[in-house]
Every structure is written in C-alpha cells, then in structure tokens.
Amino acid sequence: MIPAYQRKRRRPVAEINVVPYIDVMLVLLIIFMVTAPIVTQGVKVDLPQGKAETLPADSKPPVVASIDAAGEYFLDVGASQSREPLDLEQMAIRVAAIIQLEPERPVVVKADKNIPYERVIQLMVTLQQAGVPTVGLMTDPVENK
C-alpha cells in the first residue's frame, strides 16, 4: 500500500559549481601576464661564469663603452675612440646609430673597479635603451701566481 500523498524526497546536490572559479582563475592569469613584464625590469647582461671567454677571432671588433676612474663616459668604436668625455644622452645616440648599421656588433662595458655599481648600471640601461640586445662586461685576465 503506497500512500497517495507521499512526496518524492530530493537529495541535496553535492556538486560544486566550478564556473565562477574558472572565471576568477582566468582574470588572475590575465593580471599576472600583464604585470610580469613590469615587475621583471632589468638589464640583460652576459656575465662570465668563472673564467671569462674571449670574443671569437672572426667576430667584429666590439663597441666598448668605458667609465674611467673619474666617472666619465667614453666610447671606443674599433679604430675611432672618443677622447672627449660623453654624457649618457650622447652615448645613447652614438651607440644607437652603430647598432642600427651593424646589429650583430658586440657591445661591452669596461669600467674602473672603483666606480660605484650605480654608474655601471646607468650605462647599461642607457645601452639597452639605445637598442643593444645584450651587453658584455670586460674584465682583465686572471694572473696565475
């Protein structure tokens, strides 16, 4: 005997609606994709690991941006070396012109060991803004004692 008024019992739904979570995840992904390049600012530098390797003999002579002990900037482009000090704006203009003509030409920074790190970074940032893809650091060879 089945009563006529018996209701069909509903069981509670135990499923999680994941659509809002997917929306939140996609929004966070977009936020991280937009902010990641801003957070990782810096200058790309090819630092030597242990002993530094010399440039290949068949490569073009490098453009050498120098900082002397007095903190003045100079530019050495193979045969022509500027004997007068340059400011960072002049350095950027000259290096940009060289890189535009010869994009494969290596660029290295040569700085006095007593120069503050900030001056070297300012030069490297200027070179990067001038269009130099990678900047090398020039060192003296290690003397065996």
Domain count, the chain: 1
127 falls within a domain = yes
Q: Which domain holds residue 132?
A: 67-136
Identify the pLDDT of residue 143. Answer: 57
Identify the pLDDT of residue 139. Answer: 75
22 falls within a domain = no
Per DSSP, the three-state class of 131 is coil
- Structural contact between residues 105 and 60, judged by C-beta atoms closer than 8 angstroms: yes
State pLDDT tens for residues 41-98: 443 433 334 456 666 666 777 888 888 878 888 888 865 555 778 889 998 999 999 8
27 falls within a domain = no
Instruction: Give Cβ neighbours of residue 76 (< 8 Å, ≥ 6 apart).
Output: 63, 64, 65, 66, 82
Which is higher by pLDDT, 103 or 43? Answer: 103
84 falls within a domain = yes
**pTM higher than 0.75:** no
Burial of 87 (0-12, 13-18, 19+ CB in 10 A): exposed
| CATH classification of the domain holding 81 | 3.30.420.270
Per DSSP, the three-state class of 33 is helix
120 falls within a domain = yes
